[in-house]
Amino acid sequence: MLRFILMRLGKAAIILIAILTLNFFLIHAAPGDPAAVMAGEAGAADAKFIAQLREQFGLDKPLLTQLGIYLKGVLQFDLGFSYRQQMPVADLILDRLPATLLLTMTAFVISLLLGTLAGVLASARVGKWSDTAISTLALLFYATPLYWAALMAVLLFSVYFNWLPGFGYETVGANYTGFRRALDIGQHLILPATTLGLFFMAVYMRMTRASMLEVSQLDFVKTARAKGLKSSIIQRRHIFRNAMLPVVTLAGLQAGQLVGGAVLTETVFAWPGIGRLMFEALAQRDYNLLLGVFFVSAAMVLLFNLITDILYRFVDPRIRVA
């Protein structure tokens, strides 16, 4: 197991460097000059001032030289300096990362639990009206644009009924502490986490249903039925456990994607996470900050993939035997 983890970490490091290099060239190929943007906001957009800004932030150096400086800094755990926020990139990301992890992990748990439960119920009632209703709802959640669902959730539950706060991480100026602050954050978390979770719940539901129907037709399940085992035992011990293997794979892939894929949700709900930070950095042409967010997002995807591979060895004993 240790050898397997070390090999995967080595491969992940190579992939991460390749991703950083590709992102660096893609970002610098995009139109727009950050020095010109900063000079325009300062009200002094003359060529001399822009040249001074480019020299100050190293934008006048050749592209390969900038890439070498950036990769050297990453290897030293230095993600650079945000020339727009006037702060180290690592400090900005660490300040926003807990909010993103709270949002995405809550949405992940909601989607996985509800999606798996709905898939099990649908497979147990295949061909009946309840199966059709669950499948239709899942398809509706999957087909609905995420930003539209988020806006409708704000209008319905926050504006119309006034049940839940619609924006922000916590109540501004309330200065809550302890359990009261945790409760306040939880109330602000309900709408964005549920909105984000419903989209992925549909994926898990359809995967669980299809996988359980496929496993239920295998020979060992037929043998269990012929031996007279109870239907509940067959569903729980024989079908469900084996049907979860593709769901575990899918969950591991999407857990990493959620961290970098909550941009729309965080923007609509004004959630102070790295997704919204990435959107702000893109609008401001803050190259270092944008590259730092991409680095963290890619690292999280690779980390969750590694965790999935390790969990797969415990879920499926045949992998350990091999």
The model's pLDDT over 146-173, given as tens digits with 9 standing for 90+, comes to 778 888 888 888 888 878 887 777 777 7
Domain boundaries, the chain: 2-89, 91-321
Residue 56: its pLDDT value, please? 65
Q: Are 188 and 169 in contact (CB under 8 A)?
A: yes
Structural tokens at position 228: 């007279």
How many separate helices (H) and strands (E) can be counted in the chain? 15, 2
- 176's CB contacts (< 8 A; 6+ apart) are 170, 183, 184
Helix (H) / strand (E) containing 102: helix 89-124
Residue 178: its pLDDT value, please? 78
* Residue matched to tokens 């919204």: 276
Instruction: Give the Cα separation of 51 and 124 in Å (integer).
Output: 68
In terms of C-beta density within 10 A (0-12 exposed, 13-18 middle, 19 or more buried), how is residue 215 classed? buried
Instruction: Give the Cα separation of 140 and 48 in Å (integer).
Output: 56
Residue 45: its pLDDT value, please? 59
Share of the chain above pLDDT 70, in %: 85
Q: Which residues pair with 81 in a beta bridge?
A: 88
Q: pTM for the whole thing? A: 0.76
Instruction: Give the Cα separation of 107 and 264 in Å (integer).
Output: 14
What is the tens place of the pLDDT at every residue in 109-129? Answer: 888 888 888 888 888 777 788
Share of the chain above pLDDT 90, in %: 0
At 59, the pLDDT band (50, 70, 90 cuts) reads: low
At 318, the pLDDT band (50, 70, 90 cuts) reads: low
**Dihedral (C-alpha) 121, 125, 129, 133: value to the nearest 10 degrees?**
30
CA atoms lying within 13 Å on the CB side of residue 187: 14
At 53, the pLDDT band (50, 70, 90 cuts) reads: low
Residue 78: its pLDDT value, please? 77
Residue 42: its pLDDT value, please? 54
Helices (H), 2-88: 2-29, 34-42, 47-56, 63-75
Residue 49: its pLDDT value, please? 66
Q: What average pLDDT score do residues 289-297 get?
A: 83
- 135's CB contacts (< 8 A; 6+ apart) are 122, 205, 206, 209
* Residue matched to tokens 């729980």: 236
pLDDT at 226 over 70: yes
Residue 41: its pLDDT value, please? 58
Topology of domain 91-321 in CATH is MetI-like fold (1.10.3720)
Residue 272: its pLDDT value, please? 83
Opening angle at CA 181, ends 178 and 184, nearest 5: 150
Instruction: Give the Cα separation of 265 and 189 in Å (integer).
Output: 11
Q: Are 315 and 248 in contact (CB under 8 A)?
A: yes
Q: How many CB atoms lie within 10 A of CB 264?
A: 19
Q: What average pLDDT score do residues 25-36 get?
A: 68
Q: What average pLDDT score do residues 41-53 get?
A: 63
pLDDT at 251 over 60: yes
Q: 3-class DSSP state for residue 72?
A: helix
167 DSSP assignment: S
At 317, the pLDDT band (50, 70, 90 cuts) reads: low
* Residue matched to tokens 């309840």: 130
What value does the mean pLDDT of the chain take? 78
Q: Among candidates 188, 190, 194, 214, which has minimal Cα distance to 115?
A: 194
